[in-house]
Amino acid sequence: MTKCPVCETEYTENEVETCSVCGYDLTPYPPIDEIPSELWEKEKKRIAVAKRVWKSSQSQVKSAQLMVSHLQSYLYETTRNIYGFTQSQSQLPSQSQAIASQSQLLSRLRSKRSHLSFHPRVKRSHLNSNPRVKRSHLNSNPRVKRSHLNSNPRVKRSHLNSNPRVKRSHLNSNPRVKRSHLNPNCYHA
C-alpha cells in the first residue's frame, strides 16, 4: 500500500485517481526513463504547499468542530432553560388564581367576623370557644351574657373586673374566679 503524499492516507496504487480524504491527484507519472530535476523540484514544492493547506484546513476543521460542540451544548442548556421558563409560566395563572381566591376568602372571613362580634343574635358561646375573638369586643357589648364569659377559662378576669357592668353574683358563682382577682374598688352589682 502507498500513502498519499499530502494527508498520508493509505491507498492501493493504480486503483484510485484521487485521494478519498484530501482529493489530491494520485495518478502515477508516465513511465519515463528519467524525469528532469526541475520537474521533480516543482512537484516537491506543489506537494509541500498542498500539505500546508491540508494541515491548515484540518486545524480549522477541528476548531470548527469544537465550536459546533460548544454551540450544541449552549443550545441544549438554552432549550432546557426555555422549557423550564415555559413550565413556570404555564403554572402562573393557576397560582395567581389560587392566591386571588384565598385573598377573597380571607377578606370575606374578616368581614363576617367583624359583623358577627357585634351582631345581637350571635351566640356568645360560639364566640367564646374561638380563641381569636377579642375579649374587649365582648366586654364592650352590653348584650354579652357574663355567664358565658365566666364559663370560659380563656377570658381574662381583669377584663371582667374592670367592666362595671359585670355582675358580682356571676363572678362569685363561678368556682374558677378567685376572690383576689375581684377588684374591691370597682363597682359590681
Residue type, 72: Q
| Burial status of residue 66 (CB atoms within 10 A of its CB: 0-12, 13-18, 19 or more) | exposed
110 and 170 share one domain: no
159-184 average pLDDT score = 55
141 and 176 share one domain: yes
What tens digit of pLDDT does each residue of 39-72 get? 888 888 999 999 999 999 999 999 999 999 999 9
How many whole angstroms separate alpha carbon 163 and alpha carbon 150?
13
**Are 27 and 5 contacting, i.e. CB atoms less than 8 angstroms apart?**
no
Question: What is the residue range of 79's domain?
Answer: 32-114
43 and 110 share one domain: yes
Higher pLDDT, 170 or 97: 97
Which stretch, 17-26, 64-73, 107-116, 123-132, has highest mean pLDDT? 64-73
49 and 78 share one domain: yes
What local confidence, expressed as pLDDT, does residue 34 receive? 75
104 and 142 share one domain: no
pLDDT band at 15 (very low <50, low <70, confident <90, very high): confident
How many whole angstroms separate alpha carbon 147 and alpha carbon 170?
6
76 and 43 share one domain: yes
* Segment among 6-10, 82-86, 178-182 with least mean pLDDT: 178-182
Domain limit, last residue, from 79, 114, 149: 114
pLDDT band at 189 (very low <50, low <70, confident <90, very high): very low
pLDDT at 104 over 60: yes
159: in domain:
yes
The domain total for the chain is: 2
Helices (H) then strands (E): counts for the chain = 6, 2
